[in-house]
Structure formats: C-alpha cells, structure tokens
Amino acid sequence: MKKIWIDCTNSPHVLFFESIIKELEKKYEIVVTARDYQQTIDLLKQKRIPFIQLGKHHGSTLFSKFFGYFYEVWLRIKFILKEKPDLTVCHHGMYATMTAFLTGYKRLYLFDGDGSTIQMSDILFANKSLCPEALPKKIFGKKLHKYPGFKEEVYLSSFEKDPTYLSKLGLKKKRTIFIRPEATSASYIKGEHFMDNLIRNLEEEGYQIIIKGRTPEQIKYYQKNFKNLFVPTKTIDGPNALANSDLVISGGGTMNREAAVLGIPVISTFPNQPLSVDKWLVKRGYMKIISQPTLKDVKEALNTKKRYKMSDKGKKVILKTIEAMLR
C-alpha cells in the first residue's frame, strides 16, 4: 500500500485535509504530522485523526522565524528518511515541501495565498502545485495547476449546519456577531486590539458576541476587559459557530472565507494588501474589507443579501491530482 505524508502546521490545515484524508485512507496509508501552533493539535485530537507531533511556533520576529525554519526542516528530514512516503502533501507548509525536495521524495504543494514571497517560492521546490482559480494568471506555470472554488469550499462543501450549536455553547438564539481578532503572533501584524471600541459599541447595542482569541494572552485580555463577551477557552466547531452567526468580523483570512462560502456576511479587518482570493470575494459582493469598522458598517453588513453557492468540484480536482501523482 502506498504511503502519503500530510503535514499540518496551522489550524486551518486540519479542516482542509480532514475530508481529503477520509477519501484517501480508503486506498492509501496516511501519515499525518502536526506542529504545535494555535489549535492544530486540539483539532486533530477532536477529529480523531492520528498524528505525530513535529515542532512548534518559533515567535513573530524575523530572526526567530529564520531559525525556526531550519529547525522544522531538520525535524522533518529525520521523519521522512524513516517513513519514506510515496508522496508528501501540504497546504502552505514550507517545511514539508523543502524537506521532500532535499531528500528526493515526490511532493505536492497546495496554497491559496499569494501575499508571501517565501511561501510562493515553494512552487519551485514542488513537483506540482495547486491553487484556486481566483489567483492571477501571472503565477500560472507548468508546475502550477488550478482548482475551482476556494480552499474553504473544499472541506465545507459537505458541511451540515447544526442549528442548535449556539445553545450547546450556552448561548441564546439572538443576533450574534462572531469576532476573530488579529493574529498578533504573525510578523505582518504591527499592532493589536484594533477592534476594542467597536466591541464596546456592539455590547451597548445588545448584540451577542462570540470572540475567538488566537492565543492564551488574547483570551485573558478579552475576559478581563469586557463583561458580556463569550470567549471560548477551548477549541470550538468553527464552521458551526460561523454558520449560526449573523455576521463575522475577522482580522485573519480563513474564517472570513469560511463565512463567505457559508453565506454569512463578512467584514475583513486584515490591515495589509488583501490576497487574490479575498479580492475575488470582495469584487463580487461576498465580503467587505474595512480596517476599522464602525457600528454603521456592521448594521449595513448585516443587511447583505448576496449568498455564495458552494460546490465540491475543487475537492475532486485535488483528489484526482493526488491519485495521478501516485501512479
């Protein structure tokens, strides 16, 4: 039986690969590795996906990231020489692609963000790369192929909403706003707590607010400084939390696009140049980008009528590509 190595270095990778793993394990041996970062480990445990822990997050400074890169690759070189997989697969996983390149193993690199030159360079080290059709043609090359839809659509196309999920969290069925703070551990974020004034205004207006902190420090901050927020301290079912909300406001990317494809109005507060996938959604009215949204912006977004229609075509293309590379 042929072996596939899947490397998860961030929480969204677990969601992305979950349904793909279920399909692939019918025919292949799957080995999953995971870096201890954000909710990656918790999600794998929650979804009962066996894994081997490799590495951790190394901080937000350029020096720590530079050192961490070589350390993570070194860990994976030891792993790949032991496991000898027939194919390495990752999503924005720079370590696994470089590891497989250096050791001569076959590799597939998936990505959906075109904002990082370092991550984009992994196209050069992969045997084949896959990205959403929304990315510009200028990066299209012989190694690069495209799939329809979005990364988030790949795993949410089979999603079934649990209408009782808010009550399971101990919340009421009322107008709910889901907030995901900025990624303060990321090198591209230069400040923090951009949304404090807006959150206070929303509290005064009586909205039910779920705020999902990214780090223990963020969770403690929001618990200390706000009275009426629901601040989960454990890993929650993100898609169900979003699907049962009336609006999502987030400083990140994945949850914004999850909400958009689920048909929930979205305000992105991402402070830098938006990715091509986000530009596509904004241009077609599925998302708004407002760096410092006001109460007026929130009320306007809540009245958004346009809804996205999902498809499983993207997942089918990815599975066919993996199967073709194993022949």
- DSSP of 140-200, one letter per residue? --TTEEEESS-HHHHHHTT----TTHHHHTT--SS-EEEEE---TTSTT-----TTHHHHH
The domain total for the chain is 2
Confidence of residue 187 (pLDDT cuts 50, 70, 90): very low
Whether 135 and 202 map to the same domain: the answer is: no
pLDDT at residue 184, rounded to an integer = 58
308 φ/ψ angles, rounded to the nearest 5 degrees: -80, 145
Mean pLDDT, residues 120-133 taken together: 90
Which span out of 186-190, 230-234, 322-326 was modeled with the highest average pLDDT?
A: 322-326
Confidence of residue 189 (pLDDT cuts 50, 70, 90): very low
Q: What domain range includes position 278?
A: 165-302
Q: Can you list the alpha helix ranges (DSSP code H) found in the chain?
A: 11-24, 40-46, 62-83, 94-103, 117-120, 122-125, 151-156, 165-168, 196-205, 216-225, 238-243, 254-261, 276-283, 295-302, 313-325
Whether residue 74 contacts residue 95, with contact meaning beta carbons closer than 8 Å, is answered with no
Whether 30 and 127 map to the same domain: the answer is: yes
Confidence of residue 314 (pLDDT cuts 50, 70, 90): very high
Whether 188 and 234 map to the same domain: the answer is: yes
186 φ/ψ angles, rounded to the nearest 5 degrees: -85, 145
Over the chain, what is the mean pLDDT? 91
Whether residue 268 contacts residue 289, with contact meaning beta carbons closer than 8 Å, is answered with yes
Q: What DSSP state is assigned to residue 90?
A: E
Q: Specify if 200 maps to a domain.
A: yes
Return the half-sphere exposure (C-beta side, CA atoms, 13 A cut-off) of residue 81: 8
Q: Specify if 307 maps to a domain.
A: no
**pTM for the whole thing?**
0.87
Sign of CA dihedral 189, 192, 195, 197: negative
Confidence of residue 252 (pLDDT cuts 50, 70, 90): confident
pLDDT digits (tens, 9 = 90+) for 78-106: 999 999 999 999 998 889 999 999 999 99
Q: Specify if 170 maps to a domain.
A: yes
pLDDT at residue 234, rounded to an integer = 87
Whether 286 and 228 map to the same domain: the answer is: yes
Q: How far apart are CA 239 and CA 291, in angstroms?
A: 23
Whether 169 and 284 map to the same domain: the answer is: yes
Q: Can you list the alpha helix ranges (DSSP code H) found in 187-237?
A: 196-205, 216-225
Q: How far apart are CA 121 and CA 129, in angstroms?
A: 11
pLDDT at residue 186, rounded to an integer = 45
Confidence of residue 121 (pLDDT cuts 50, 70, 90): confident
Whether 8 and 152 map to the same domain: the answer is: yes
Whether 8 and 99 map to the same domain: the answer is: yes
